[in-house]
Amino acid sequence: MSPFTIVLLTLVLVVMLFILVFAAVLLTPFALPLLAFGAPFIPSAGKTVERMLDAAGVGPTTRLLDLGSGDGRIPVAAAKRGARADGVEVNPWLVWVSRRRAQWFGVREHTMFKCGNLWTYDVAAYDVVTVYGLGPIMGKLEQKLLRELKPGTRVVSHAFHFPNWRPEREDRGVVLYVVPERSAAA
Ligand SMILES: C[S@@+](CC[C@H](N)C(=O)[O-])C[C@H]1O[C@@H](n2cnc3c(N)ncnc32)[C@H](O)[C@@H]1O
């Protein structure tokens, strides 16, 4: 093989590798949620985040969990109010961004971001749960929350409704639910 062919082949390989890495980075936000049966990354607007926290009465005594926490904006905003706030997120890039965001706003100690699947994450310890999901997952999510959360826990959904729960309040796409007693929900 001539030196020219070797250089050409190396160049082709490098370009192919670059395209593969680029495609993986671009596709991760869409492919991972699809594989994990969840919504792709579409961040809630800042004003909506504040409305979600207001709806649930988030303050210094709150223990909040954002299911599918994206870039961490909801837990960080809650922690800025003094809450202890966690997020579970399937996309490792977004978990990294979330931790940097928490650090930037000086609330790293009040937050925890777990890279994982919301369907296997134990939600029992929280008193506020936020979610910006997709219509088709809301029925399955309702069952999980009902099984694991204490009655009285506040659940705030951005944009989508749970099929069987009655909202306590609704304002411009922010829907507040309170987990009912198990007998009442049966
Ligand atoms: C619509 S975004 C909402 C992000 C953030 N909660 C907000 O309101 O700005 C949904 C997020 O859920 C994540 N996600 C989807 N399926 C998931 C799963 N099974 N487990 C954990 N995270 C998931 C996506 O990667 C995405 O970041």
Tens-place pLDDT, residues 144-184: 999 999 999 999 999 999 999 999 999 999 999 999 887 66
Distance, in Å, from the CA atom of 84 to the CA atom of 86, rounded to the nearest integer, reads 7
Cβ–ligand 1 contact at 28 (below 6 Å):
no
Instruction: Please tell me whether residues 152 and 172 are part of one structural domain.
Output: yes
State in Å: Cα 26 to ligand 1 middle. 16
Contacts of 101 (CB under 8 A, 6+ apart): 71, 72, 73, 76
Q: How far is CA 169 from the centre of its chain?
A: 22
Choice from 25, 37, 69 to test ligand 1 binding pocket (greatest atom count within 8 A of CB): 69
DSSP state at residue 171: E
- The CA–CA distances, whole Å, from 166 to 38, 75, 179 equal 23, 25, 10
Cβ–ligand 1 contact at 42 (below 6 Å):
yes
Assessment of whether the complete model's pTM goes beyond 0.75: yes
- Tell me, yes or no, whether 41 lies in a domain: no
Instruction: Please tell me whether residues 77 and 166 are part of one structural domain.
Output: yes
The rounded mean pLDDT for the chain is 92
Q: How far is CA 141 from the centre of its chain?
A: 13
- Tell me, yes or no, whether 40 lies in a domain: no
Q: What is the total count of domains within the chain?
A: 2
Choice from 121, 132, 134, 160 to test ligand 1 binding pocket (greatest atom count within 8 A of CB): 132
